[in-house]
Amino acid sequence: MTRVTRDIDGTMQRDAVPPVSADVVFATSRFPTYKIGANNQIVEVKEDPKSMTMKEVVAKETAQLLEQQKRLSVRDLANKFEKGLAAAAKLSDEARLQDASSLEKHVLLKKLRDALESLRGRVANRNKDDVEEAIIMVEALAVQLTQREGELIQEKAEVKKLAAFLKQASEDAKKLVDEERAFARAEIEKARAAVQRVEEALEEHEQMSRGTGKQDTEELMKEVQEARRIKMLHQPSKVMDMEHELRALRAQLEEKSKHSLQLQKQLAVSKRSEGNVNHIYDIDGTEALGSTLQICHCSEEAPDLSECSIQWYRISSESGKKELIVGATKAVYAPEPSDVGRILQADVILDGQVVSVSTTGSIDPAPGLGNYVEALVRRHDIEFKVVIAQMNGADYLSESIHVLHVGKMRMKLCKGKTTVAKEFYSTSMQLCGVRGGGNAAAQAAFWQAKVGANFVLAFESERERNAAIMLARRFAFDCNIVLNGPGDKASQ
């Protein structure tokens, strides 16, 4: 379902209606009806209080539609709760793998001790002392392994409790989502019936108003607006309560997602320590579009990153295919729209040794960015305010504001009436996020208008930068052009 909301506040501001005190009580929500009697006297017509006029029916049905159309969508909540259940199942699978690994270690230690016992009976003198010393070391190692397993069992029990709590909370939330979805469907059916009744009423009123003229129609519109304004000022809205409840649910879901990511990172660290892997680097930052990821030290023995060479890759979460990101050779990298749904990996190379670090999961999309782009697609030409940071590989000294036009057929960069670059979408054009690192990498984009003309543009925000890239790629795809960054494949 899609949330449909009408901007009533803007309409009320344009009407410039003076504020009404909250303690005012109106006797009626419509204007009285008068007629001219004998001697040209004005007489008020008394109507049956039980029967409703056409104007009252339209005002009532319109107010009901406004409340029903503000029902919010719960599909996103359902998808996130299903992700929480999948995360709990993954925790259980990893616990079973740890049990199997522990059993293999005990088997190996027992075989080693049996081999040493058989060897002690065959040797003598000094070699026999060495064998006995080795047996003692193996027994000590078995004791340490048993102690370590006890600690891991305690940690595993805590993780299982947390996973069970997350699973139960997700199931409860999913039930709530199902109930809200059923209620929303019922509200939609009621709204459709109300729309049909309003349409029939409007058709009847239109037939009647054709004979009376345009004046009656204007008076009816004024009465509908006045009734809507009075009802909104003096009647509490149930939609606001639902919005507050849904916001609270979203906040709880976000906290559970963060907690799940922390558990996944802890499990990854535990697996690395069990495999005797020297974990000296890690990736810090929010794993979502619009953020910045940075390689950081996890050990004092880790070499300085300035002495190492770095290369970033994107890995498909389905096929596991590893793709090189051309130009991403710094410790800082800002994900771009092509990285959404993929895992990012960085290789740190020093003296021929390669240390690989990767994100915990795939890169998540930016909240609300899809709806923002869909709203901009309807326009013929979209403007973004930018600052040129580099032009053709050289720093651009002027920090004046330029305007980047993203159109259906072409892109244009201009300053006032002066056009800096204007090119139609073609195979030589490239557009992607800046891959050279830096503090403002999440707000900068690389644009090659044509061969020999490229720019590094800084946008006002991360949202503007990602929206410009997504819009340009969508318009270029409509022209049968795949618009990517340097070295990116057409499948992206």
Q: For position 43, what pLDDT does the model report? A: 59
Query: Tokens at residue 323, please?
Result: 């793709």
Instruction: Give the integer Cα–Cα distance in Å for 111 and 95.
Output: 25
**The length of the chain, given as a count of residues:** 492
Write out the DSSP string of 247-308.
Answer: HHHHHHHHHHHHHHHHHHHHHHHHHHHHTT----EEEES--BTT--EEEEESSTTSPPGGGS
Return phi, psi of residue 116, to 5°: -70, -35
Q: Are strands 309-316 and 342-350 parallel, antiparallel or unpaired?
A: antiparallel
Does this model's pTM top 0.75? Answer: no
**What pLDDT sits at residue 465?**
94
Q: Report the alpha-carbon distance of residue 108 to residue 25 in Å, rounded.
A: 87
Whether the CB-CB separation of 242 and 71 falls below 8 Å is answered with: yes
3-state helix, strand, coil in the chain (%, to 5): 50, 20, 30
User: How far is 447 from 336, CA to CA, in rounded Å?
Assistant: 13
Residue 41 has a pLDDT of 58
Residue type, position 257, single letter: S
CA distance 163 to 439: 37
Instruction: Render the burial of 25-54: b for 16+ CB within 10 Å, e for the rest.
Output: eeeebbeeeeeeeeeeeeeeeeeeeeeeee
Per-residue pLDDT of the chain (492 residues; tens, 9 = 90+): 444 444 434 444 444 444 444 444 444 545 455 566 656 555 555 555 556 666 676 677 777 767 665 554 555 555 666 676 676 667 666 666 666 666 677 677 777 777 777 776 666 666 777 777 777 887 787 788 788 778 878 877 887 787 787 778 778 877 887 888 888 788 888 878 888 888 888 888 777 767 666 666 777 788 888 877 776 665 556 666 666 777 788 778 777 776 776 677 667 656 655 544 456 788 888 888 988 898 888 777 778 887 888 899 999 878 888 889 988 888 899 999 999 989 999 998 888 888 888 888 888 888 888 889 999 998 889 999 999 999 998 988 888 899 999 999 999 999 989 999 999 999 999 999 998 777 788 999 999 999 999 999 999 999 999 999 999 999 999 999 999 888 887 654
Cross-sheet strand order for the sheet of 281-284: 281-284, 293-297, 332-333
What's at 216, amino acid-wise?
D
Q: What is the tens place of the pLDDT at every residue in 160-169? A: 787 787 778 7
Give the pLDDT confidence of 309-358 residue by residue, as tens digits. Answer: 889 999 987 888 888 998 888 889 999 999 998 999 999 888 888 888 88
Q: What is the pLDDT of residue 220?
A: 79
